[in-house]
Structure 1
Amino acid sequence: MSVGIVMLVHTALGRAEQVARHWARAGCPVVIHVDKIVPRRVYNDFVAGLADVSVIRFSRRHRCDWGTWGLVAASQDAAELMLDKFPDVRHVYLASGSCLPLRPVEELIEYLEERPRTDFIESATTADVPWTVGGLDQERFTLRFPFSWRKNRYLFDRFVELQRKVGFRRRVPPGITPHMGSQWWCLTRQTLSAILQDPDRRKYDRYFRHVWIPDESYFQTLSRLYSTNIESRSLTLSKFDFQGKPHIFYDDHLQLLRRSDCFVARKIWPHAERLYQAFLTDPAGAMNRTEPNPGKIDRIFAKAVDRRTRGRPGLYMQSRFPNQGWENGLTAGKYSVFQGFAELFEDFEPWLARATGAQVHGHLFGPARAEFAGGQTVVNGALSDNAALRDANPRAFLTNLLWNTRGERQCFQYGPRDNPDINWHFSRDPNAQISVVSGAWAVPLFKSNANFADLRREAAKLQKIEAKMLDELRSPDVKARVRIWTMAEFIEAPMEPLQVIIDEIGLKAPRRLSEAPRMADLTGFGQFLQNLKNQGMHPYLMGDFPVDPAPRHDPTSARKPYLIKK
């Protein structure tokens, strides 16, 4: 009878009875405190159901609202009853009705008997750890909190603001330094009795009664006055998420709990039949005798928190979707955007597919439809080529395409005739590789058979749109990999930029291009641009394009061969 169990029960009384009997069968006396909010009839039935167990007692009831003094008062009364009725108890273990022993109780008893003067209680100053969630660290010890944070949040916040504004501060009682930690402790009789019988207890109780969440600071602070050997850790596995809410363990956490090597876990779902069956009625399945090490599963919890708060790149979650900048990466993978290449080269898309092995689409954001590779009308994820559906949310269209085709590089064409709303999304996406040959949109106009007045009007419109696009791509906030060439400089030496682009896509081993795309016939294009200038439209995005470009290889007559006689 070296270990006594204090249980704070609020709900799921049936499970609490099951666990209390488990503790008692191992020879541990149990003192149960039942929240005063539990109806009297339900409480009486609970007491009657445990009347046959001689080592179970019930302490005076308190109302235990979260973050209030009632939880400390309940622990005090139950601990006093334990020390009074069971003089052989050496350690008192505080647990809740939703706690579940993970190892045979005999192992806990043996573990504590080997450490008769060690107190296991998480205890650290607010300056040393960043545990607190809610914005109150040291202030929880210097302000007053007459209103419930959960039930009267507005009054709670306003009263805190008022105290800050007027400079109100409570004095911490001399001789103590506020500490914080988990409320689930295991204290020796000497330390616990010294706290409960302290001559200054009324002064300390009066002070902590107005501390915010005193159950995480009362025993954690006062144990520092009397304990000769504190191990600042809890023997109870209790994990919290990024909002400070406890993780709940379900049936599928069975193997995870086994790996923790902890004696007790909190908080167990009341309907987790598999967990209660495994840990309360299966001694053969108990864990090996080893030091409790919740750190073994900390990596899993850290990964779960990261997944919940940041998610996976390119996958938008309900918790982050409305907030721009909360996404963990705009898209799920790298992709390439080509502007002007399909206009400048004939059959550019099949050439690029052969050269890179990537999935190469046409103008995904074209005015008529999304031009998927191979002329498909529906692609992965049931994405339709319907322009109206796509333009309802073009950013989501791109995000879904890249998510549904993970593992395959996507390339597509873009230009001033396409939906311009997506351009800024490209530019701020680190996954985007954007290559632009400015002014190449004029090549289809040059080859068309339209009236020149219509061509001039269309050219002025497209140039204005592309100029705005280029301004966005040159913004200091751009995170994409952007390359921009004027048409004039690009056609001077097209192989070098093509080689750079292909190498950057990097799906195949780097090699020199053995096949070049066939460039459109630009004979007369310079004169076409000059005609636009003559009509008052200045096509400057093409660069310095000569009216009659000099041939690349002068057709000079070949030199006559001459012989050297020996």
Structure 2
Amino acid sequence: MTVGIVMLVHTALNRAEQVARHWAAAGCPVVIHADTNVPRRVFRAFRKSLEDVERIRFSDRHRCEWGTWGIVAATQAGAEVMLRDFPEVSHVYLASGSCLPLRPVPELTDYLAARPDTDFIESATTADVEWTVGGLDSERFTLRFPFAWKKHRRLFDRYVELQRRVGFKRRMPNGIVPHMGSQWWCLTRATLSAILEDPERPTYDRFFQRVWIPDESYFQTLARIHSRRIESRSLTLSKFDFQGKPHIFYDDHLQLLRRSDCFVARKIWPHAGRLYRAFLIEDPATRKKTEPNPGKIDRIFSRAVELRTRGRPGLYMQSRWPNWGWENGATCAPYAVFQGFSELFEDFEPWLEGQTGMRVHGHLYAPGGVAFSGGQSVVAGAIPDSAAIRDYNPRGFLTNLIWATRGEQQCFQYGPADNQKIAWDLARDGNARIAVISGAWALPLARSRADFAEIRAEAARLQKIEAKFIETLRQTETKARVHIWTLADFVEAPMQALQDAVAELGARSTRRLSEAPTMVDLTGFGQFLQNLKNQGMHPHLMGDFPAGPDPERPPRKAPKPYLVQK
């Protein structure tokens, strides 16, 4: 019983030489195919370096462009040399120059000897394949692909679109059912000979020459015709990420690879000297008769993919930043946004900070600058109060603020006069707690001494902006926790509304509020709204605010009497 190794190499030829010698030293014939992209001078030196190894052969060279027929042609060439020159070979194992044996070769030989009629090749119908990336599964067989996707992507895409428009569709030759799977297989001599000597091979070859990525379907499909027994799995550990790119193994993956119990792994980083030193030895003490089980390490790979695509909440990185919806939450911690409260109450910010223990800022997105708590010019994370820096990336400004101050809950004021580019980000952020008193922006205008025509124009502008913001908050896609009161409803029962707003924050104290901040003087505000109506504007966001007698201000809690003893 002998296992023959067909190696496809195109780079890191020094490592390929090292692995080929390892296979040959263990009694395995090796046939090497070198990509024609390898310069002749380099190839000649590589071939000369292996002349002293009797059981190594070289096959005719082909150009191996990714996704094209050349890889299949290279595999056929190597397999033909193997079957011709080494009649004692019972199984042929396809590997690449970046593959590395993980277990002693005699273990692989014994494993295959116990399964003399079994072909190990991943082979599934297109309907059962969920790992294809790029939107082409069954179409890779029904359309034609004469252009290499990596080098001629524009031609590739346009030709695919043209075929779809005209309804072009190829038929499978002789009614075969297309199958797909990993390129890296181990076939019995009988099955591989039957595929290469099939009388219909010219027909199959012509068909698969225009299939996209035929190395993942040619042998996988034809093995279903000629094999006596297929185990639809690969003996090579080959992991791919969510984009269909292969994982590369480095020195720090040593224990991970040992745990897999697989016979071979790819892709190994050419400079992973520790891996090559550890695995290219034949130590009888390391032999074990365990079944290859790459599932042991699937959890680790799944976690790695999750970290790359999701990461920590509110923390961005290169792999997630360009992709909408990959940020795993816009921010990393809960925070509060109050709109209209600082306009209605004179001392709202210090009052709220005293009641909740939160860091309460002013209008962070005000046009004139960032109003940090306590008038600071720079806060944690070296975030300045520059409006220009903030407005360059309003969303990033908020994300950085919440990230840099995690452990201390943040709160800030917002309004229709502020930068509205952040509005949708606030609405879709599940960490946001938003409380809005609609129409409160009109209170400063009522006290303004500007020309009433200017006040009316400004009121119309602010109302339009706030109406759009409230509409955004009421969208079904909104994830923030939102409370909205009209100004009239809030003034009617301010203590209850404040209690609801503070309770929503998860504040440190759960006691009911015993005092309220000082409300601004509302005298004449109803008449101000009526004047706006008389000038042709309809101030509807304030609610049904009476134009007659002014609403009474809630009395401040009288101080408790106390006794002084003499």
Q: Which of the five TM-score ranges fits, normalised by the shorter chain?
A: 0.7 to 0.9
Partner Cα distance (1:138, 1:337) in 2: 51
How far 1:327 moved relative to its partner?
Answer: 4.6
1:314 aligns with 2:311: no
CA shift, 1:217, in A, is 1.2
Q: What amino acid sits opposite 2:224 in the alignment?
A: R
Report Cα offsets for 1:500-534 as digits up to 9, x if no partner.
2223222537x332433333253xx2334325635
Kept in 1: contact 2:2–2:28 (CA 8 A): yes
Q: How far apart are the structure 2 equivalents of 1:97 and 1:303?
A: 28
| Per-residue deviation, 1:359 | 2.3
Q: CA deviation at 1:231?
A: 0.8
CA gap of 1:256–1:515, structure 2 versus 1, over 3 A, is farther
What do the CA deviations read for 1:243-279 (whole angstroms, capped 9, x no partner)?
3222222223333323322211111121222222222
Task: Describe how 1:356-395 pairs up with structure 2 within 5 A.
Answer: 356-395=356-395
Matched residue, 1:557: none
Which position in structure 2 is the counterpart of 1:427? Answer: 427
The Cα of 1:324 is off from its aligned counterpart by 5.3
The answer on whether the counterparts of 1:440 and 1:542 sit within 8 Å (CA) in structure 2 is: yes
Tell me if 1:548 matches 2:549: yes
Shift of 1:288: 5.5
1:15 aligned to 2:12?
A: no
Over 3 Å counting, the alpha-carbon distance change for 1:361 and 1:172 in structure 2 is same
1:6 corresponds in structure 2 to 6
- List aligned pairs for 1:201-212, cutoff 5 A: 201-212=201-212
Give the 3-state SS of the residue equivalent to 2:203 in structure 1.
helix
1:483-562 matches, cutoff 5 A: 483-508=483-508, 511-520=510-519, 522=521, 525-530=522-527, 533-534=530-531, 536=534, 541-546=541-546, 547-549=548-550
- Using a 3 Å threshold, how does the CA distance of structure 1 residues 505 and 528 change in structure 2: closer, same or farther? closer
Question: Any residues of structure 2 matched to 1:169-248 within 5 Å, and which?
Answer: 169-174=169-174, 176-248=176-248
- Once the two structures are TM-superposed, the CA of residue 465 in structure 1 deviates from its matched residue by 0.6
What pairs up with 1:100-499 in 2 under 5 angstroms?
A: 100-174=100-174, 176-281=176-281, 283=283, 289-318=289-318, 321=321, 327-444=327-444, 451=449, 453-454=450-451, 457-458=454-455, 461-462=458-459, 464-475=461-472, 476-477=474-475, 479=478, 480-499=480-499
Matches within 5 A, 1:32-71: 32-71=32-71
The one-letter code of the counterpart of 2:61 is: R
For the aligned residues, what is the CA RMSD? 3.0
Q: Which amino acid aligns with 1:217?
A: S
Q: Secondary structure at the match of 2:222?
A: helix
Aligned mates of 2:529, 2:155 — CA distance in 1: 71
Equivalent AA in structure 2 for residue 52 of structure 1:
D
Q: Could you list the per-position Cα deviations for residues 165-195 of structure 1 after superposition, in whole angstroms to 9, with x for gaps in the alignment?
A: 4443333222521111111001112222222
Determine the C-alpha separation between the residues in 1 that align with 2:131 and 2:183: 13
Between the aligned partners of 1:392 and 1:534, the Cα distance in structure 2 is 39
How much has 1:15 moved relative to structure 2? 0.4
Contact 1:72 1:214 (8 Å CA) reproduced: yes
Check the 8 A contact 2:371/2:385 in 1, yes or no: yes
- Cα distance change on mapping 1:154 and 1:12 into 2, 3 Å: same
TM-score (norm 2): 0.87
Partner Cα distance (1:211, 1:51) in 2:
37
- State the aligned residue count: 548
SS in 1 for 2:23: helix
Structure 1: unaligned runs, 5 residues or longer: 555-566
- The 1-side partners of 2:488 and 2:130 are apart by 59
Contact 2:121–2:234 (8 Å) recurs in 1: yes
Bigger drift between 59-68 and 424-433 goes to 424-433
Question: Which letter does structure 1 place at the counterpart of 2:305?
Answer: V
Query: Aligned partners of 1:442, 1:192: CA distance in 2, in Å?
Result: 83
**CA-to-aligned-CA distance 1:15-54 (integer Å, 9 cap, x gap):** 0000111112222221111222323332222122112222
Give me the whole-angstrom Cα distance separating, in 1, the residues matched to 2:335 and 2:518.
24
1: CA distance, partners of 2:554 / 2:417 = 35
Q: Which amino acid aligns with 1:200?
A: E
Secondary structure (helix, strand or coil) at the match of 2:524 reads helix
Match of 2:562 in 1: none
**Are the aligned partners of 1:361 and 1:412 in contact in 2 as well (CA < 8 Å)?**
yes
Tell me the SS of whatever aligns to 2:413. Answer: strand
Query: Secondary structure at the residue paired with 1:90?
Result: strand
Assess, with a 3 A threshold, how the Cα gap between structure 1 residues 456 and 136 changes in structure 2: closer, same or farther: closer
Residue 212 and residue 367 in structure 1: after superposition, are their counterparts in 2 closer, same or farther (change >3 A)?
closer
3-state SS of the aligned residue for 1:81? helix
Identity %: 66
For residues 406 and 115 of structure 1, do their structure 2 counterparts lie closer, same or farther at Cα, with a shift above 3 Å needed?
A: farther
Deviation readout 1:341-400 (Å, 9 max, x if unpaired):
223334322332343333221221234432222332211221101223223332321222
Residue 257 of structure 2 aligns to a residue whose secondary structure is helix
1:119 to partner: Cα distance: 1.1
SS at 1:381 equivalent: coil
Q: Which moved more, 1:426-435 or 1:324-333?
A: 324-333
- Residues 1:350 and 1:455: Cα distance change in structure 2 (over 3 Å): farther
Q: Which amino acid aligns with 1:239?
A: K
Conserved? CA contact 2:121–2:233, under 8 Å = yes
Q: Is 2:15–2:98's contact at 8 Å kept on the other side of the alignment?
A: yes
- CA 1:157/1:505 → structure 2, altered by over 3 Å: closer, same or farther? same
Shift in alpha-carbon separation, 1:78–1:360, aligned structure 2, 3 A: same
Counterpart amino acid of residue 77 in structure 2: D
CA 1:417 to 1:8, structure 2 compared with 1: closer, same or farther past 3 Å? closer
Q: What secondary structure sits across from 2:465 in the alignment?
A: helix
CA contact (8 A) 1:186 1:235 kept: yes
Checking the alignment, whether the CA contact within 8 Å between 1:121 and 1:187 is kept in structure 2 is yes
Moved more, 94-103 or 418-427: 418-427
Contact preservation (8 Å) 2:415, 2:466: no
Aligned counterparts of 2:43 and 2:451: Cα–Cα separation in 1: 88
Aligned partner of residue 436 in structure 2, secondary structure: strand
Q: 1:55 is matched by which residue type in structure 2?
A: R
Q: Which residue of 1 aligns with 2:97?
A: 97
Instruction: Please say if residues 499 and 512 of structure 1, whose CA atoms lie closer than 8 Å, have aligned partners that are also in contact.
Output: no
Give the secondary-structure state (helix, strand or coil) at the position aligned to 2:523. Answer: helix
Instruction: Give me the whole-angstrom Cα distance separating, in 1, the residues matched to 2:552 and 2:67.
Output: 85
Q: Which residue of 2 aligns with 1:561?
A: none
- Aligned-partner residue type, residue 524 of structure 2: Q
Task: Indicate conservation of the 8 Å contact 2:32/2:58, yes or no.
Answer: yes
Deviation string for 1:66-96 (max 9, x for gaps)? 2222222222222222233333322211100
Deviation at 1:59, TM superposition (A): 2.0
Further displaced range: 401-410 or 29-38:
401-410
Point out the more displaced range, 353-362 or 51-60: 353-362
